[in-house]
Amino acid sequence: MENPILVISSRVHYPESQHRGAIAVVNAAGKVVYSVGDIETPIFPRSASKLFQVLPLIESGAVDAYHLGQEEIALACGSHNGEDTHVQIGEKWLQKINKNENILACGTHRPMGKKAVQELIKKHQSPTPLHNACSGKHLGFITTALHRGEDPQEYISRQHPTQKRVEHTLSEITNFETSTAPHAIDGCEIPVIAIPLYNLAWGMANLADPKSLPYVRQKAIHLVIDSLKNHPNLIAGDGAFDTELIRATEGRIIAKMGASGTYVAFSSEHALGIALKIDDGNIKAAEIAMIHILEELGLIDTERSETLGHEKIIFTYNSKPVGKIHAAPKKRQF
């Protein structure tokens, strides 16, 4: 089954490229409220599962034990730009757990944010593991392991108690049996398990409407939401779509990108979870599909969606507009 075209890049009025994909909108009872395309085949959520992966850090009591606050929690949810703010929170966190950056197994890469890259080049500095977009998530894993008295060595292995806890949480909150699902290794070395969009959206719905979950999990979810509402720049960075979406809606919509064209979001107000994936992995198309579905469902008003870029204008190098990337007209395919 081919997924429908969700996003089109048009040059003047003629389509130049197109992006297929699927979307699931689900409530906490697991009811599909809206769907497009194949939401049953497992896909790799990549960083779109970070809002689930952070829960054991809080539920284990590690946050309290190590005096971590909303900043650390927001960073652990994030795929951050590697700007000074992000690195500094990571540095303080390492001090709180009395470790240095060598404990991080996430590896090192050019910061995701252009500003951060330019800053490093200007200062003639190389990136460290704290510039890695996933450093917060990794610090969360390590802190939980330390708090539970586990050897943090090999914390990235699927057999390590930390990853087992994370996988158990993932399975519980998405109502999906992960043990038999396709799995692989993420860019930052941790296990990545394929989960259907339906279940990812269901998991997000559980964040939106956690009242039937155990009290400890409800409390953890509220803390995650508050952390992201108060520190939207830590989930990514200024200008990033998830950061700006949280800001523009004052936290009424919480969203998180994942590599390879995945995006998840939830609305507590409307008790809905959303998960989408662009087949070809294009992130810009995923953002446009997300803003469009939020608009279509009435979860965001047109003014806000326009500000957030529900269409992306294509310019020449002289800044003349010559096209746009936009949501495909419904059901129209070519």
Least separation, in Å, of the C-beta of 214 and its own copies? 32
Residues 301-330 that bind its own copies (CB under 8 A): 314, 316-320, 322-323
Residues 41-80 that bind its own copies (CB under 8 A): 43-44
Based on CB atoms, which residue is closest to its own copies, 108 or 218? 108
- Please say whether the beta carbons of 256 and 47 come within 8 A: yes
Instruction: Tell me the window of 53-61, 80-88, 222-230, 275-283 that interacts with its own copies (CB under 8 A).
Output: 275-283
Based on CB atoms, which residue is closest to its own copies, 118 or 307? 118
How far apart, in whole angstroms, are the C-alpha atoms of residue 225 and residue 130? 23
Residues with Cβ within 8 Å of residue 157, at least 6 apart in sequence: 163, 191
Question: How is residue 184 written in tokens?
Answer: 């692989």
Residue 177 near its own copies by CB under 8 A: no
Amino acid at site 264: V
Least separation, in Å, of the C-beta of 144 and its own copies? 21
Instruction: Tell me the window of 12-20, 65-73, 74-82, 294-302 that interacts with its own copies (CB under 8 A).
Output: 12-20
- Please say whether the beta carbons of 197 and 43 come within 8 A: yes
Q: Across 1-133, where does the E strand assignment appear?
A: 5-11, 14-27, 32-36, 42-43
23-47 burial string, b = 16+ CB within 10 Å, else e?
Answer: bbbbbbeeeebebbbbbeebbbbbb
Candidate residues 118, 126, 153, 307; the one interacting with its own copies per rule CB under 8 A? 118
Least separation, in Å, of the C-beta of 18 and its own copies? 6
Interface contacts to its own copies, rule CB under 8 A: 2, 9, 11-14, 16-20, 43-44, 105-109, 118, 121-122, 132, 182-189, 192, 194, 260-261, 278-282, 285, 314, 316-320, 322-323
